[in-house]
């Protein structure tokens, strides 16, 4: 069985520790925003973590019509992660509206 390589639009569960300053921490869902080719060749993925707190920021993207994940994509918290070292686990797939 091939190891999991995230695809753009996947929701994954990731542990964001260690963190620093205002960065998100702990285990939380994240949206993969990098494409599969990048992820496969680098072993990294560019992600935006999600929060359940509605801060009414114009750059937070609501995830409301997804059966697996709800919350707000925090675009300002974009981060590159080693998805294997952080043991990213796929938990769903974003609708096309979230990715636009």
Residue 46's pLDDT is 98
37-78 pLDDT per residue, tens: 999 999 999 999 999 999 999 999 999 877 889 999 999 999
Regarding pTM above 0.85, the answer is yes
What value does the mean pLDDT take over residues 26-40? 96
Buried b (16+ CB within 10 A) or exposed e, 41-73: eeebbbbbbbeeeeeeeeebbebeebeebebbb
- Average pLDDT of the chain is 92
What value does the mean pLDDT take over residues 14-41? 90
Which sequence spans correspond to the domains of the chain? Answer: 10-94
Examine the pLDDT at 19 and tell me if it is beyond 90: no
Tell me which fold the domain 10-94 belongs to. SH3 type barrels. (2.30.30)
Residue 64's pLDDT is 83
Examine the pLDDT at 23 and tell me if it is beyond 80: no
């Amino acid at each position: 069985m091939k190891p999991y390589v995230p695809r753009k639009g996947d929701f994954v569960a990731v542990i964001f520790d260690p963190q620093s300053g205002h960065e998100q921490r702990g285990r939380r869902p994240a949206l993969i925003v990098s494409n599969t080719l990048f992820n496969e060749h680098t072993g990294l993925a560019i992600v935006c973590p999600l929060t359940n707190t509605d801060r009414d920021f114009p750059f937070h993207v609501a995830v409301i019509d997804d059966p697996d994940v709800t919350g707000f994509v925090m675009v300002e918290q974009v981060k590159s992660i080693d998805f294997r070292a952080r043991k990213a686990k796929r938990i769903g797939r974003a609708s096309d509206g979230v990715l636009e």
